[in-house]
Chain A
């Protein structure tokens, strides 16, 4: 579904990602954990085309996406729910959801898109109550739900979630992770999850990678990493 081959990303001479190889298979949930500055977000931005890679290659659904701009990669079924949510604050909740389905307006009937809106409302009932509200006036948790809902509007094959728990209250984090679990259960969408809360990310993951200073340090199944002494001491607060 998604293959990343020896990818490197630099910002003005500073290497943020230094040769990462990883894979996301159909229907799988893969977690990417690591501390601040380990290159997680840079890797995601390289996958969705927001930054250029300076080495390696990326394949989305079997297609080499070198030189393909971000908006073209979305056509391959890639939805990236960016760090810090990045909802369109000056537009309504409904408009944000419609924009998530932007590419579908060309080829699909409006009724199809409305069906997906109902599905998103079923997952996030709160969004239904707030559909006419300006998205920027909602709370952080609601904005995160909107950001995930907006990404789901594409009916993506690959869903990238960048730190969905950032800045949220513990109760809300529970809710967000519940939803991610439910999306995973459908096995319709492959999910690449980046998270600071390593414990939760590993619990949900089929497989996981630990990123350290721009390289993959450890990889394995979610359960393996939860029990790995190295991961426990560095990321799970164990001894």
Chain B
């Protein structure tokens, strides 16, 4: 029993990371109707920048900087990366008649980021230390790292914070207005292009934070973002690309199914149930489990 519980909790924590990145996909999809496929690489950028500042690479010990410095740096780097993706890849692509240029353009930015990090930084794997240490906290028979609790707390606060911002403030409502109807939003005086750029910056900033959060649990490497990015994308689809809280549920489903399959079937099959679920969702609920129903009346 404790074993199952332990697996569910570990899976849920992994799922929180997926959910956080998926939330980033949703933020830009709702405003721009495009998906930033470089988001996984921005997750990696967050991990790498955090590592460079927080850890002394030659010794592998702490560099002595307080954690707030790498955290702020990661947020700034993330937001800038988001702005760059929007200005250089998405906005120019949307000028083409071909509808899906942005897919290739954002994928390309992702490849550039990954290869750039490999060239400039390193191709190796590095161990990131958690600011909270690596002791295991025990509740009965269940063990949790302090870092894992941090992941849950930060992910939930970001998702809830952004959702409250969108519902309660006039600027959040303006973002929703742009999501719904760009032309009419501009008739309200809302600068729609600026709002879309902001949504890319917020999304990438969140992804970079996710990279910093997950780094102590995985390794830091130029390749760390690729799989996370793909899995988070399927979480977005499962939860619903236009939904705010859908990614949380999608993330939990994917994370928990992975740990349970790895333990009771085989680690080789651990990705299977998540992707089977993805296919089922696409077949029967193409808008995702929590996709918005379109209300239209004439």
Chain A residues packing against B (C-beta within 8 Å): 48-50, 69-71, 74-75, 79-80, 82, 84, 86, 88-91, 95, 98-100, 102-103, 105, 134, 136-140, 143, 150, 154, 167
A139 to B183, CA, bound (A): 22
Instruction: Give the contacting residue for A48; candidates B173, B187, B191, B295; CB below 8 A.
Output: B187
Main secondary structure of the interface of B (DSSP, over half): helix
Interface centre among B173, B185, B295, B296 (most CB of A within 10 A): B173
Residue of A nearest to B173 (CB): A95
The reply to whether A70 and B187 contact each other, CB–CB distance below 8 Å, is: yes
The reply to whether B189 and A82 contact each other, CB–CB distance below 8 Å, is: no
Interface size class of B (residues with CB under 8 A): 20 to 34
Chain A residues whose C-beta falls within 8 Å of the C-beta of B33 in the assembled complex: none
Residue of A nearest to B191 (CB): A71
The reply to whether B177 and A99 contact each other, CB–CB distance below 8 Å, is: yes
Instruction: Give the contacting residue for A71; candidates B176, B189, B298; CB below 8 A.
Output: B189
What is the CB-to-nearest-CB distance from B131 to chain A, in angstroms, rounded to a whole number?
Answer: 38
A206 to B78, CA, bound (A): 56
Kindly supply a per-residue 1/0 record for chain B positions 142-172, scoring 1 wherever the CB is within 8 Å of any chain A CB and 0 otherwise. Answer: 0000000000000000000000000000100
A167 to B298, CA, bound (A): 7
A90-B180, A99-B177 known; A71+B170 contact, CB < 8 A: no
B192 interfacial by beta-carbon distance below 8 Å: yes
The reply to whether B184 and A140 contact each other, CB–CB distance below 8 Å, is: no
B135 interfacial by beta-carbon distance below 8 Å: no
- Starting from the known contacts A98-B170, A99-B188, A136-B297, 19 additional A-B residue pairs (CB-CB under 8 Å) come to A50-B186, A69-B191, A71-B186, A71-B187, A71-B189, A71-B191, A86-B181, A86-B183, A86-B187, A88-B180, A90-B292, A91-B176, A99-B174, A103-B188, A137-B297, A140-B298, A150-B188, A154-B188, A167-B298
Residue pairs across A and B with Cβ atoms less than 8 A apart, 30 shown, are: A48-B187, A49-B186, A50-B183, A71-B189, A71-B190, A82-B184, A84-B298, A86-B181, A86-B183, A88-B177, A88-B180, A88-B181, A89-B296, A89-B297, A91-B176, A91-B177, A95-B176, A98-B173, A99-B170, A99-B177, A100-B188, A103-B188, A137-B295, A137-B297, A138-B297, A139-B297, A140-B297, A143-B297, A150-B188, A154-B189
A176 to B189, CA, bound (A): 24
A90 to B292, CA, bound (A): 9
Residue of A nearest to B172 (CB): A95
Kindly supply a per-residue 1/0 record for chain B positions 67-111, scoring 1 wherever the CB is within 8 Å of any chain A CB and 0 otherwise. Answer: 000000000000000000000000000000000000000000000
Chain A residues whose C-beta falls within 8 Å of the C-beta of B185 in the assembled complex: 99
Chain B residues packing against A (C-beta within 8 Å): 170, 173-174, 176-177, 180-181, 183-192, 292, 295-298
The reply to whether B176 and A136 contact each other, CB–CB distance below 8 Å, is: no
Interface centre among B177, B184, B185, B295 (most CB of A within 10 A): B184
Chain A residues whose C-beta falls within 8 Å of the C-beta of B187 in the assembled complex: 48, 50, 70-71, 74, 79-80, 82, 86
The reply to whether B188 and A136 contact each other, CB–CB distance below 8 Å, is: no
Residue of B nearest to A94 (CB): B173
The reply to whether B295 and A69 contact each other, CB–CB distance below 8 Å, is: no
Chain A residues whose C-beta falls within 8 Å of the C-beta of B189 in the assembled complex: 71, 74-75, 102-103, 154
